[in-house]
């Protein structure tokens, strides 16, 4: 259980959904995860937040990019402009230059050379997640990439995280990301798993008490199942898509599968 007001630099600290239908998204995530959608802010282009147990767990904004709806993972940084400069020096393209988000903080988004979109957040009044690693909140963040070696170099140089190899074979290449003693994410060689037109991207895992029941709620709420629930040493996992196609992985921890 992790409820903190501040996240260490280089930790995943926020996620947000780019959606083409805010009303459908608010209804879907409310039904599936019990999230409550806050009001859209006209001052910030219709941006809103999702809350669980009264605490912020994710953001939501209208998708005006022309790209498919989807989720963006943000990493905490003490200086967003400096982080953007490091990202550019390591081959990234700036999508959203550093911008002030009122008193909440500063944000930017870059696209890495492997095509993955990465968010950066410099916290002021909003540290990011009000709750993480619990039911109803983000639990894990994993980059699925076609360019494992390049992605590893970029993450290390730009974010300053440590990368530890878990498996390094052509059949399964996976590493974990570490900030100090904390394991904060994963890096997966997914060339054979990604569809031909699917870019590298960060997958967001949300904690649930029962993966199978969550799949049922997702379908009833207008979404669909991308990957059926399956067991692993780390819990029971399944992938869902919301009514406009944005995907999330639901994660039932091992303690809840016994």
Structural domain count of the chain: 2
User: What's the angle, vertex CA 10, arms to CA 147 and CA 18, rounded to 5?
Assistant: 70
80-89 vs 148-159: helix crossing angle, rounded to 10? 150
Domain that holds residue 233: 138-256
User: What's the angle, vertex CA 20, arms to CA 22 and CA 103, rounded to 5?
Assistant: 60
Residue 19: predicted pLDDT: 98
Residue 5: predicted pLDDT: 55
Q: Does residue 73 form part of some domain?
A: yes
pLDDT means per 10 residues, the chain with 258 residues, are 68 97 98 97 94 96 94 97 97 96 96 94 95 94 96 94 94 95 95 89 97 98 97 95 98 75
Phi, psi values for residue 246, rounded to 5°: -70, 135
User: 240 exposed, middle or buried (CB, 10 Å; 0-12, 13-18, 19+)?
Assistant: buried
- Give the domain CATH number at 222: 3.10.180.10
Question: Is residue 118 domain-shared with residue 146, that is, in the same domain?
Answer: no
Q: Please tell me the distance from the alpha carbon of residue 96 to that of residue 64, in angstroms, as a whole number.
A: 13
Question: Are 8 and 179 in contact, with CB atoms under 8 Å apart?
Answer: yes
Q: Does residue 177 form part of some domain?
A: yes
Which of the listed residues 93, 123, 153 is the one where a domain comes to its end?
123
Residue 54: predicted pLDDT: 94
Question: Are 10 and 71 in contact, with CB atoms under 8 Å apart?
Answer: no
Q: 95 Cβ partners below 8 Å, 6+ apart?
A: 109, 110, 111, 117
Residue 81 to residues 7, 9, 28, Cα–Cα distance (Å): 18, 14, 35
Which of the listed residues 66, 91, 123 is the one where a domain comes to its end?
123
DSSP three-state, residue 81:
helix
Residue 256: predicted pLDDT: 56
Residue 75: predicted pLDDT: 97
């Amino acid at each position: 259980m992790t409820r903190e007001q501040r996240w260490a630099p280089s930790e995943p600290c926020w996620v947000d959904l780019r959606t083409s239908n805010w009303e459908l998204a608010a209804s879907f995530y409310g039904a599936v995860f019990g999230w409550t959608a806050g009001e859209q802010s006209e001052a910030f282009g219709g941006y809103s937040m999702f809350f669980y147990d009264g605490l912020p767990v994710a953001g939501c904004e209208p998708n005006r990019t022309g790209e498919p709806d989807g989720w963006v993972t943000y990493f905490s940084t003490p200086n967003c402009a400096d982080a953007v400069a490091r990202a550019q020096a390591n081959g990234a393209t700036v999508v959203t230059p550093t911008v002030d988000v009122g008193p909440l903080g500063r944000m930017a988004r870059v696209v890495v050379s492997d095509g993955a979109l990465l968010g950066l957040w410099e916290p002021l009044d909003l540290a990011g997640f009000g709750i993480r690693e619990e039911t109803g909140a983000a639990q894990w963040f994993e980059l699925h990439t076609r360019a494992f070696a390049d992605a590893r170099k970029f993450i290390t140089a730009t974010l300053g995280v440590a990368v530890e190899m878990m498996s390094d074979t052509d059949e399964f290449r996976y590493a974990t990301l570490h900030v100090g003693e904390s394991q904060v994410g994963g890096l997966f060689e997914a060339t054979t798993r990604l569809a031909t037109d699917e870019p590298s991207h960060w997958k967001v895992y949300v904690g649930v008490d029962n993966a199978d029941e969550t799949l049922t709620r997702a379908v009833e709420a207008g979404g669909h199942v991308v990957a059926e629930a399956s067991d692993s040493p780390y819990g029971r996992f399944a992938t869902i898509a919301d009514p406009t196609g944005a995907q999330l992985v639901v994660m039932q921890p091992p303690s809840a599968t016994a």
